[in-house]
Amino acid sequence: MEDGIDRRHLLLGAGGAALMAGVAPARSAAQAPSRKLGYAMVGLGNYATNIIMPQFANCQHSQVTALVSGTPEKLRKFGAQYGVPDRSQYNYQNFDKIRDNPDVDIVYVVLPNSMHAEYTIRAAQAGKHVMCEKPMANSVAECEAMIAACKKAGKKLMIGYRCHFEAHNLYAIELVKQGRIGKPRTVQSEHGFSIQPGVWRLNKALAGGGSMMDIGIYSLNAMRYMTGEEPTSVNARWSTDRTDPRFSEVEDRILWTLTFPSGVIGNGVSSYSSGHNHIRITGDKGWIDIEPGTPYDGHRMKVGSYYNGDPVEPPPGPGVNQFVGQLDHLSQCIKENRDNRAAGEEGLRDIRIIMAMYQSAADNGRTIQL
Amino acid sequence: MEDGIDRRHLLLGAGGAALMAGVAPARSAAQAPSRKLGYAMVGLGNYATNIIMPQFANCQHSQVTALVSGTPEKLRKFGAQYGVPDRSQYNYQNFDKIRDNPDVDIVYVVLPNSMHAEYTIRAAQAGKHVMCEKPMANSVAECEAMIAACKKAGKKLMIGYRCHFEAHNLYAIELVKQGRIGKPRTVQSEHGFSIQPGVWRLNKALAGGGSMMDIGIYSLNAMRYMTGEEPTSVNARWSTDRTDPRFSEVEDRILWTLTFPSGVIGNGVSSYSSGHNHIRITGDKGWIDIEPGTPYDGHRMKVGSYYNGDPVEPPPGPGVNQFVGQLDHLSQCIKENRDNRAAGEEGLRDIRIIMAMYQSAADNGRTIQL
């Protein structure tokens, strides 16, 4: 597994800012103890309990050792299911006592966006490393405070960009670097779904925004990691039916154009009222398409030149799936004391751009320099 | 054939401004003579001779009866091939004598963009109906002059929007109108290819612009006919490598966002350095995707809800293929004295938007109200 990850890093080459962040050139096997690091899961909602937690069984370096929830029934149920003893079950009032729990190495924050900063900072102050779900937080200032708190505590901070560990996405990045599509020229990514009423993601105070703070960040992040470049400007337009009771507080659809230093130019879509899940990067010699591009599983990838493409199967990713790759990556980075590839700065970059998108859309599509 | 077209019109319903332009509610079979109308082909380049002219053999209402070229060898060769006698072969100096040729009903202008206005106006002044290739002309003023000249002469003007007669595109429009995707929410279309050096399309005086005046108009026109709406604003950004000798005069890539009155919002791509051929419209209940969307043949269409779509085969279009449908449509409209579905006003709409795109892109993406 570790060797697999290191080979991947070498294949990716030197250019991929987003995914290469903090890859150490060498490591000492002697420094890598075999103990699985312990994760405290903060927030026992659907994504944590149905998607992430079952994957610890497939991890080589990670296990669940603590649970944090405001609902005692959830603590009892998942405590029993994952063998987490009473002493490692917390609520939001006594959460800070986690500092005294030697079984916890990492706190994984899977809470509504507005709570990411608070629990990341409290976890760092409790002496724990942090995995925090994306979007990193609801403002640039919160992101900066999270990074500062982890730095001050000497603890690692990683943002839950699962696609950075997904085989199709990684292979597409690798093929771009190998020149398979020639010189990259455009990038497109669209993500969206029809959101159900009544969820916290439609509450602006909790979510920080609408589709862009949820599914749209996949389009944005993909445009960055597929090109391996940071955008220099953005224009965004939005459209929201305010008579739809779901959208009384947050935006529905937002579409944008990003320009990149190399001359690459790209369009993105984020939607809470239509279905999209697609990434394409085109170059002067061909294109790579992943559709669906960022599902939990079932990705399909094609490589083509003009009209039609051929299906391509990627080599295995760093974990048996993207969730395992993500969980074990942070554990390994902690064991080996190296930076992780989706650190706080990566999360901050997306939030800076999203805030610029909102500024542009609110100002009728005005170009914002990044 | 005529009945087939009329059924299509009924199926399309009342909303499709672009494709419904000028469909008469009834016709008199007694007014439709069986004679095939005669086309004079002006410009014997690749598109005219390899793509359009072979299709007259499949037409029920149209035939080639005259040829116009500056190259005597082409006149001899294609005159022999299509049985066009010497008296119906013209060059650009004696073109106006076509007024005296009773075998010519329609002049089909397949010249570089900068010559569209001149030959459309000369044809109208010679008392002929006109089919003119897209883009209609290099400026709004030229388009308006073309419309005025044909109106003054009492002759019909049609722009060569072949996709308005293509079965997949027509069926997608019909499915949208039938509510198959629910309420339309976004539209995306990308068209591009890697252009070869040295062609007239890279000469700004002849082409009027770069990829947008060539392949990009397919994306723009598709966004209009798929939604059935006229856009209210546009933002455009462009990217052109001026060190590439192909692009010393015209733009390479241009990307844009259009907003529509219903709240639909869409992204478009036009490129002379990467391959794209795609149309997608999404609604709150599903989406329709055509990729390739506008080739000469080999279209593929899918209808889906979120991740995956199912292949869909459309019913036959109005002609055995889009080229035949286009040629015979104008002939039928002339026979029946009704408006055609791709009249000069339709071409003008695209040119107005393209000029606004250029204005926006030149002004760093500023929103232009349409």
One digit per residue, the tens of pLDDT, for chain B of length 370 reads 223 333 333 333 333 333 433 333 334 444 445 799 999 999 999 999 999 999 999 999 999 999 999 999 999 999 999 999 999 999 999 999 999 999 999 999 999 999 999 999 999 999 999 999 999 999 999 999 999 999 999 999 999 999 999 999 999 999 999 999 999 999 999 999 999 999 999 999 999 999 999 999 999 999 999 999 999 999 999 999 999 999 999 999 999 999 999 999 999 999 999 999 999 999 999 999 999 999 999 999 999 988 789 999 999 999 999 999 999 999 999 999 999 999 999 999 999 999 999 999 999 999 999 9
- Going by C-alpha positions, the residue among A185, A179, A169 that lies closest to residue A293 is A169
Residue at token pair 């990341």: A120
Higher pLDDT, B272 or A32: B272
pLDDT of residue A308: 80
Give the residue from B181, B227, B307 with the most A CB atoms within 10 Å of its CB, the best one to mutate. Answer: B307
Helix (H, G, I), strand (E, B) or coil at A282: strand
pLDDT of residue B306: 80
Query: B282-306 burial, b for 16+ CB within 10 Å, e for fewer?
Result: bbbbbbbbbbbbbbeeebbbebbbb
pLDDT in tens, B6-35: 333 333 333 333 343 333 333 444 444 579
> Which residues of B are annotated as catalytic?
134, 218
Nearest CA in chain B to A242: B263
Say if strands B286-290 and B276-283 run parallel, antiparallel, or are unpaired: antiparallel
Query: What is the number of CB-based contacts under 8 A between chain A and chain B?
Result: 152
Q: How is A156-195 classified by DSSP, letter by letter?
A: -EEE--GGGG-HHHHHHHHHHHHTTTSSEEEEEEEEE--P
- Going by C-alpha positions, the residue among A62, A95, A64 that lies closest to residue A78 is A64
Give the residue from B274, B285, B287 with the most A CB atoms within 10 Å of its CB, the best one to mutate. Answer: B274
Whether residues B235 and A239 touch (CB distance < 8 A) is answered with no
pLDDT of residue B308: 80
Could you tell me the pTM of the whole model? 0.91
Which B residues in the span 177-206 are in contact with A, Cβ-Cβ below 8 Å?
185-186, 188, 190, 192-194
Helix (H, G, I), strand (E, B) or coil at B302: strand
Cis amide prior to B245 (ω within 30 degrees): no
Q: Which domains does chain B have, with CATH numbers?
A: 2-162+321-343 (3.40.50.720), 167-317+351-369 (3.30.360.10)
Contact A346, A18 (CB under 8 A): yes
Query: B213-245 burial, b for 16+ CB within 10 Å, e for fewer?
Result: bbbbbbbbbbbbbbbbbebebbbbbbbbbeeee
Q: Does A243 touch chain B (CB under 8 A)?
A: no
Which member of B257, B271, B286 has the closest CB to residue A185? B271
First to last CA, chain B: 37
Contact B132, B109 (CB under 8 A): yes
Nearest CA in chain A to B269: A267
Q: Is the pLDDT of residue A37 over 70?
A: yes
Cis amide prior to A292 (ω within 30 degrees): yes
Give the rounded distance of the alpha carbon of B27 from its chain centre: 25
d(CA A63, CA A59): 7
Whether residues B267 and A238 touch (CB distance < 8 A) is answered with no
> Which residues of A are annotated as catalytic?
134, 218
**A263 contacts in B (CB within 8 Å)?**
239-241
Q: Does B364 touch chain A (CB under 8 A)?
A: yes
**B282 contacts in A (CB within 8 Å)?**
192, 271, 274-276
**B235 contacts in A (CB within 8 Å)?**
235, 237, 257, 365
Q: Is the pLDDT of residue A12 over 60?
A: no
